[in-house]
C-alpha cells in the first residue's frame, strides 16, 4: 500500500518508550552506539546472505555512513546491510522480540526503576534513539529484490506508521530529528567523540560527514602468529591510553565453555605501588567488537585490576544479542576462564623465564599476595607464585614455597617465616639463631602485608606456615649442637626469673630455640607475632 498504515506499539514497547523518553538518563549518547551496532549487525548479516544468495538488491559496499545537520538538527545513520521488509519493520521495531529490551524491562520489574543507568547497561537497542528524538524515520529496503522499500515513522508516543517509499537503497537509513535540548548530537565533533569511545573497533568502514572515521583493528580477533610485537604495543597504547611498553601480554581464544577472544596486557609499572590511586578494573568487555563496558566490575577478580586489554565474547551465533552478555552467569564464566589462563601464563613465566618473572613480581607481587590472602578460589595457585628471600638464599635472591619445601629435612614439619624491615633486621634479631643452628630455613618477609597473607593462607603443600617468633614453635625434637643445663638447673633458673620479673611476664619457660642469646621474649598470642604487636602499638599512639 502507498498510504501510511498506522500501528500501535506492543504494550511492553509503550512501557519501554515511556521510560526511555522520560528518564533523566544522562548518557544519552549511547543511542549512537546502539544504532551503529545495529548497522554493523545488518552488514554482517548481509555478508552471510551473500554467501548463499545470488539475487541481492543493489550492488553496494558494506559501509556505514553518518551525517549530521546542525541547522536542521538531525542525525542520519545509514547502512547498506540486510535491510527490512515491511513485515520485518513491524515485527522488529514494534514488538519486543529481542533480548536487550526484555532484560531491561525485567530488571526494572525487579525494582531497578529508580536507576535509569540500566538503559546504558542493558542498552535498549533501537529504542534508545527516542531519548534524543522528536521523531525517528527508518527508510529501509530489504536485500530481497522483489520487496519494495518502506519508511517507518514514529515520535515514540504509542504508535508508528509504515508506508511504501520509492527508490530506496539496500539496508537502513535512520533519520533522527533531534529534540531541542539534544542538538549536541548534530555536531560533528560530538559524534566523533562518541564513535571513538564505543565504536572504534567496528568491523566496517564508517564515514562521518564525508570523512572517513578511522576505526582500529580488533587485534584480538586476529591470529597470534600474524601479529607483530609493534602492533601489539600500538594496540596496547591505544586501548589503555598508555605510553609505556607492556611487560607481558596474553592473547588467547577459547571455545568452551563459551567463545572468548582476549588480549590482555600487564603494564610496565604498578602505579598503585608509587602511591597513585587504587586502580580501577580496566579490561574492557566487548561483544562482536562493540564495547559493552569499559570498566566491568566482575569480569576479573579484584587482584587482577592491574590488567589492561579487551575481552570479547563473540563467535556466538549471529542472532545472539550482545545485551545478554550482561547475564551474571556468563560474566562469571568469563572471569573463571580468563583468570585461569592468566595464572597459567604466570606459571610458565616463573618456570621458563625466571628473570622476567622476577621483574614482574617486583612490580606486581603485591597483587598476587592480595589474591593469595583474599581470593579463596585461586589461593593455592597464587601461593605457588609468591617469592621470598630466606635464610638460605643470597641477598636479593628469592625462593618459592615449593623450593623451600623441597629443601626441608625429614624432621621438619612446618614452614617458618620471620617478618622484619629488611634482611639485616631479621638476621640480627634473636629469633633466627635456633633455626640456623638446626639448619632450618626461614622465609624472610619484608612487607607489612606478608604476615597477614600467611595468616590467611595458613598452609602450603600440607605444611603449616608459622611465624618463627611464635611461642608455640617447638624445636626440641630437632637436634642442635652445644651443652644444655641439667633439668634441675633449668627449674631453679626459671623460678628465679619468674620471681624477679613478676607481673611483667606471663610465664618463664626454658627454650630450645636459642644458641648464642641467653633469653628472648616470645609471643603467647596464637595469631599475633612480635612484629604485629609492634605495628599495633605504633598505630595506637
Ligand atoms: P537487538 O539489536 O538487540 O536485536 P535492537 O532494538 O537494537 O535489538 O534492534 C531490534 C531489531 O531490529 C534487530 O534485531 C534487527 O532485526 C532490527 N534492526 C535494527 N536496526 C537494523 C538495521 N540497521 N538493519 C536491519 N535490521 C535492523
Ligand atoms: Mg541492537
Express each pLDDT in 488-517 by its tens digit.
Answer: 777 888 888 888 888 888 888 777 666 666
Helix (H, G, I), strand (E, B) or coil at 378: helix
Neighbouring residues of 124: CB distance < 8 A, sequence distance ≥ 6: 16, 20, 34, 100, 101, 104
At 354, the pLDDT band (50, 70, 90 cuts) reads: very high
Q: Please give the distance, rounded to the nearest whole angstrom, from the Cα atom of residue 34 to the centre of ligand 1.
A: 9
Calculate what percentage of the chain has a pLDDT beyond 90. Answer: 59
Weakest mean pLDDT among 43-52, 167-176, 211-220: 43-52
- pLDDT for position 541: 40
Q: Please give the distance, rounded to the nearest whole angstrom, from the Cα atom of residue 535 to the centre of ligand 1.
A: 61
Weakest mean pLDDT among 73-77, 263-267, 308-312, 323-327: 323-327
Q: How far apart are CA 306 and CA 357, in angstroms?
A: 16
Pairing of strands 463-467, 415-419: parallel
Neighbouring residues of 484: CB distance < 8 A, sequence distance ≥ 6: none
- pLDDT for position 494: 83
- pLDDT for position 442: 96
pLDDT tens per residue across span 52-61: 888 999 999 9
Weakest mean pLDDT among 228-232, 336-340, 431-435: 431-435
Closest C-alpha to ligand 1, atom 10: 92
Closest C-alpha to ligand 1, atom 4: 98
C-alpha cell at 514: 636459642
Q: How far apart are CA 93 and CA 501, in angstroms?
A: 87
Closest C-alpha to ligand 1, atom 19: 38
> Which ligand is in closest contact with the Cα of 89?
1
The Cβ of residue 230 has, within 10 Å, a number of other Cβ atoms equal to 8
Most distant CA atoms of the chain, gap in Å: 115
Neighbouring residues of 148: CB distance < 8 A, sequence distance ≥ 6: 86, 141, 164, 165, 166
At 251, the pLDDT band (50, 70, 90 cuts) reads: very high
Closest C-alpha to ligand 1, atom 17: 92
Q: How far apart are CA 166 and CA 150, in angstroms?
A: 8
Atom number, ligand 1, closest to the C-alpha of residue 171: 24
Atom number, ligand 1, closest to the C-alpha of residue 322: 3
Q: Please give the distance, rounded to the nearest whole angstrom, from the Cα atom of residue 351 to the centre of ligand 2.
A: 46
| Interface TM-score (ipTM) > 0.95 | yes
Torsions phi, psi of 126, nearest 5? -50, -40
Atom number, ligand 1, closest to the C-alpha of residue 98: 4
- pLDDT for position 538: 61
Closest C-alpha to ligand 1, atom 5: 125
pLDDT tens per residue across span 189-216: 999 999 998 899 998 999 999 999 998 9
Q: Please give the distance, rounded to the nearest whole angstrom, from the Cα atom of residue 490 to the centre of ligand 2.
A: 83
50 has pLDDT over 50: yes
- pLDDT for position 117: 57
Closest C-alpha to ligand 1, atom 13: 92
Closest C-alpha to ligand 1, atom 20: 38
523 has pLDDT over 80: no
Q: Please give the distance, rounded to the nearest whole angstrom, from the Cα atom of residue 317 to the centre of ligand 1.
A: 15
Mean pLDDT within 374-384: 95
Atom number, ligand 1, closest to the C-alpha of residue 81: 24
> Which ligand is in closest contact with the Cα of 37?
2
Q: Answer yes or no: are the C-beta atoms of 176 and 129 closer than 8 Å.
A: yes
Which one is predicted more confidently, 364 or 242? 364
Q: Please give the distance, rounded to the nearest whole angstrom, from the Cα atom of residue 38 to the centre of ligand 1.
A: 5
Mean pLDDT within 115-144: 83
> Which ligand is in closest contact with the Cα of 138?
1
Owner of C-alpha cell 551465533:
317
DSSP E strands in 121-188: the ranges are 133-141, 150-154, 159-164, 171-178
DSSP E strands in 196-325: the ranges are 206-208, 211-213, 248-254, 260-266, 282-287, 290-293, 308-312
**Ligand 1 — pocket residues by CB below 6 A?**
34, 38-39, 42, 79, 81-84, 92-93, 98, 100, 125-126, 172, 321, 323
C-alpha cell at 72: 536542521
Amino acid at each position: 500500500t502507498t498510504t501510511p498504515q498506522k500501528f500501535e506499539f506492543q504494550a511492553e514497547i509503550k512501557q519501554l518508550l515511556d521510560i526511555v523518553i522520560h528518564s533523566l538518563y544522562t548518557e544519552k549518547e549511547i543511542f549512537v552506539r546502539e544504532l551503529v551496532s545495529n548497522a554493523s549487525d545488518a552488514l554482517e548479516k548481509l555478508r552471510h546472505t551473500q554467501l548463499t544468495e545470488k539475487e541481492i538488491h543493489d550492488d553496494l559496499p558494506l559501509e556505514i555512513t553518518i551525517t549530521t545537520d546542525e541547522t536542521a538538527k538531525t542525525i542520519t545513520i545509514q547502512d547498506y546491510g540486510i535491510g527490512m521488509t515491511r513485515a520485518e519493520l513491524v515485527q522488529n521495531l514494534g514488538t519486543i522480540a529481542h533480548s536487550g529490551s526484555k532484560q531491561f524491562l525485567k530488571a526494572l520489574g525487579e525494582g531497578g526503576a529508580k536507576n535509569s543507568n540500566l538503559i546504558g547497561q542493558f542498552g535498549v537497542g533501537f529504542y534508545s534513539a527516542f531519548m534524543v528524538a522528536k521523531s525517528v524515520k527508518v527508510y529501509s529496503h530489504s536485500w530481497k529484490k522483489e520487496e519494495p522499500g518502506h519508511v517507518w515513522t514514529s515520535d515514540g508516543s504509542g504508535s508508528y506508521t509504515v508506508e511504501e517509499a520509492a527508490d530506496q537503497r539496500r539496508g537502513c537509513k535512520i533519520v533522527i530529528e533531534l529534540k531541542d535540548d539534544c542538538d549536541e548530537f548534530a555536531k560533528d565533533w560530538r559524534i566523533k567523540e562518541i564513535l571513538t569511545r564505543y565504536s572504534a573497533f567496528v568491523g566496517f568502514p564508517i564515514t562521518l560527514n564525508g570523512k572517513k572515521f578511522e576505526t582500529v583493528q580488533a587485534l584480538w580477533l586476529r591470529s597470534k602468529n600474524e601479529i607483530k610485537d609493534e602492533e601489539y604495543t600500538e594496540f596496547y597504547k591505544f586501548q589503555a591510553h598508555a605510553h609505556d611498553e607492556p611487560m607481558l601480554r596474553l592473547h588467547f581464544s577459547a571455545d568452551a565453555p563459551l567463545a572468548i577472544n582476549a588480549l590482555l596486557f600487564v603494564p610496565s609499572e604498578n602505579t598503585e605501588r608509587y602511591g597513585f590511586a587504587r586502580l580501577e578494573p580496566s579490561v574492557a568487555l566487548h561483544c562482536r567488537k562493540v564495547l559493552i563496558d569499559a570498566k566491568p566490575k566482575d569480569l576479573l577478580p579484584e587482584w587482577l585490576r592491574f590488567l589492561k586489554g579487551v575481552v570479547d565474547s563473540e563467535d556466538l551465533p549471529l542472532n545472539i544479542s550482545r545485551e545478554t552478555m550482561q547475564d551474571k552467569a556468563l560474566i562469571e564464566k568469563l572471569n573463571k576462564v580468563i583468570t585461569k589462563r592468566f595464572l597459567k601464563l604466570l606459571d610458565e613465566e616463573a618456570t621458563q623465564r625466571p628473570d622476567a618473572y622476577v621483574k614482574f613480581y617486583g612490580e606486581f607481587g603485591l597483587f598476587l599476595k592480595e589474591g593469595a590472602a583474599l581470593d579463596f578460589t585461586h589461593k593455592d595457585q597464587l601461593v605457588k607464585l609468591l617469592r621470598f628471600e630466606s635464610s638460605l638464599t643470597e641477598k636479593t635472591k628469592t625462593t618459592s614455597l615449593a623450593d623451600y619445601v623441597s629443601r626441608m629435612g625429614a624432621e621438619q614439619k612446618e614452614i617458618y617465616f620471620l617478618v622484619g624491615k629488611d634482611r639485616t633486621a631479621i638476621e640480627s634479631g634473636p629469633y633466627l639463631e635456633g633455626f640456623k643452628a638446626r639448619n632450618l630455613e626461614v622465609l624472610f618477609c619484608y612487607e607489612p602485608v606478608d604476615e597477614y597473607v600467611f595468616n590467611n593462607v595458613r598452609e602450603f603443600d600440607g605444611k603449616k606456615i608459622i611465624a618463627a617468633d611464635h611461642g608455640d614453635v617447638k624445636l626440641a625434637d630437632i637436634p642442635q649442637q652445644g651443652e644444655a643445663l641439667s633439668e634441675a638447673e633449668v627449674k631453679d633458673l626459671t623460678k628465679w626469673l619468674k620471681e624477679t620479673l613478676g607481673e611483667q611476664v606471663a610465664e618463664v619457660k626454658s627454650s630450645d630455640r636459642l644458641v648464642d642469646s641467653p633469653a628472648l621474649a616470645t609471643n603467647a598470642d596464637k595469631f599475633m607475632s612480635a612484629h604485629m604487636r609492634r605495628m599495633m602499638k605504633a598505630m595506637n599512639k
